Amino acid sequence: MNTTLTVATPACQGGGPVTLSLPLTVSVVWSGAPVATLRDTAQFNCLNYRNEGQSLSVTNLANVTASLAPLLSAPLTSDQGSLASGTTHVHAEGVQQFTCHL
Q: What is the pLDDT of residues 16-29, one digit of tens each?
A: 776 778 899 999 99
Indicate whether 15 belongs to any domain.
Answer: no
Indicate whether 87 belongs to any domain.
Answer: yes
Range of the domain at 75: 2-9+21-93
Name every residue whose Cβ is closer than 8 Å to that of residue 19 and which is 6 or more positions away in sequence: none
Indicate whether 101 belongs to any domain.
Answer: no
At residue 4 the predicted structure's pLDDT band, cuts being 50, 70 and 90, is: very high
Indicate whether 99 belongs to any domain.
Answer: no
Indicate whether 48 belongs to any domain.
Answer: yes
Are 31 and 60 in contact, with CB atoms under 8 Å apart?
Answer: no
Indicate whether 100 belongs to any domain.
Answer: no
pLDDT confidence of residue 39: 96
Total domains, the chain? 1
Name every residue whose Cβ is closer than 8 Å to that of residue 4 and which is 6 or more positions away in sequence: 23, 24, 25, 26
Cβ atoms within 10 Å, residue 82: 12
Indicate whether 98 belongs to any domain.
Answer: no
Give the helix, strand, coil percentages of the chain, each rounded to 5. 0, 65, 35
pTM: 0.58
Indicate whether 16 belongs to any domain.
Answer: no
